[in-house]
Amino acid sequence: MDILISFIKIVVYLGILLFTVAYLVLVERRVSAFIQNRIGPNRVGYKGLLQPVADILKLMIKEDIVPKLAYKPLHRLAPIISIVVALSTFAVVPFGDKIVLFGKEIKLQIASVNVGILYILALTSLGVYGIALAGWASNNKYSLLGGLRSSAQIISYELSMGLSIIGVILIAGTLELDKIVEAQSGWRWFIFLQPVGFITFFVSVFAETNRLPFDLPEAEPELVGGYHTEYTGLKFGLFFLAEYANMITASAVVTTLYLGGWQFPYINTFGIPDFWVSVIQILTFISKVLIVIMFMIVIRWTVPRFRYDQLMNLGWKWMLPLSLANVIVTALVIYLVE
């Protein structure tokens, strides 16, 4: 029974995530059009609602062009690595506490791992292999430069990201994501207790997901398309899907670590039945994730791209010292208080 429940949760999760990714692209295109005083896609379906379906069909029927001198095994493997890592990272994120269905208590988390944060950091580290291999296997100097840029960028900002999380771990006293959410009951959200950690983590998220103003690995004025220059059809679609899946997962992790996760402040004091409490928790989590995603979209279309030296300076000269200082101050406060 437990295996069946886990299988159903995985199928539901993948279905919702892939549907969300498809329409997140439409949302971003409409938001960018609004910011730039354009109309945006509105022809396919009612007000453009079928545009994602048209985009998917277009990618499916496009010719798969592979450069003659590309290393074909790794050229095919790179987008698979990116999408597998992107879809697997969400597995440990709790999107609710638990729900009772047909007399069975179901935990609203695909996999409850006692080192959930380490799992996320490990998988995000693996994600760079897809991009680096795509750049190298394409046998194209622009693709190679994009892959090298991504490797340097992710390594630089992973340090700040990891150190930012340490403050949360010190306060919560655990690596389990569901217990970190429980530690933020009421209004004890870690964004208030760890503002510096939140800022450094959130900036690192932009760098990890290659979103503007940190999209140097695919900067079109310099690198044509960056690491995916030599990809077409479904292979390009997998990279595109991975970017937006990473964006959703990153927003979910930000929500879990700093915005109280599925916590709806003081909901248990209203005498609401347990089933509806679980539903409200799920909706609360989804709402917070959508707010973070919308903020990331607005930032993309309002802040210009950094130069590469500015990107590195921010990561090593500002983010890393701030993250270290945050860890030291948090540890001292906890030591003195307790």
Residue-wise pLDDT for 22-65, tens only, equals 889 899 999 999 988 888 888 888 888 899 899 889 888 888 88
Q: What is the pLDDT of residue 310?
A: 84
pLDDT of residue 143: 84
Q: Which pLDDT band, with edges at 50, 70 and 90, does 253 fall under? A: very high
Q: Is the pTM of this model over 0.75?
A: yes
Task: Please choose, from the candidates 54, 57, 32, 35, the residue with its C-alpha nearest in 3D space to the C-alpha of residue 43.
Answer: 54
The model's confidence at residue 327, banded by pLDDT at 50, 70 and 90, is very high
Q: pLDDT band at 198, cuts 50/70/90?
A: very high
State the average pLDDT over residues 235-258: 89
Q: Is the pLDDT of residue 79 over 80?
A: yes
Q: Please, what is the Cα angle at 191 between 24 and 152, to 5 degrees?
A: 65
End-to-end CA distance of the chain: 44
Average pLDDT over residues 74-85: 89
User: Residue 1: is its pLDDT beyond 70?
Assistant: no
Q: What is the pLDDT of residues 90-99, one digit of tens each?
A: 888 888 877 7
pLDDT digits (tens, 9 = 90+) for 210-246: 777 877 766 666 666 678 888 888 888 888 888 888 8
Structure tokens at 245: 């899946």
Which residue pairs from 325-332 have beta carbons closer than 8 angstroms and sit at least 24 positions apart in sequence? 325/196, 326/163, 326/164, 326/167, 326/194, 326/196, 326/197, 326/200, 327/163, 327/166, 327/167, 327/170, 330/166, 330/167, 330/170, 330/171, 330/194, 330/197, 331/170
Q: Which residues pair with 99 in a beta bridge?
A: 106
CA-nearest of 56, 57, 60, 50 to 18 is: 56
**Is residue 126 scored above 90 in pLDDT?**
no
Query: What pLDDT score was predicted for residue 33?
Result: 92
Total number of residues shown for the chain: 338
More confident site: 108 or 2: 108
Selected residue with higher pLDDT from 100 and 11: 11
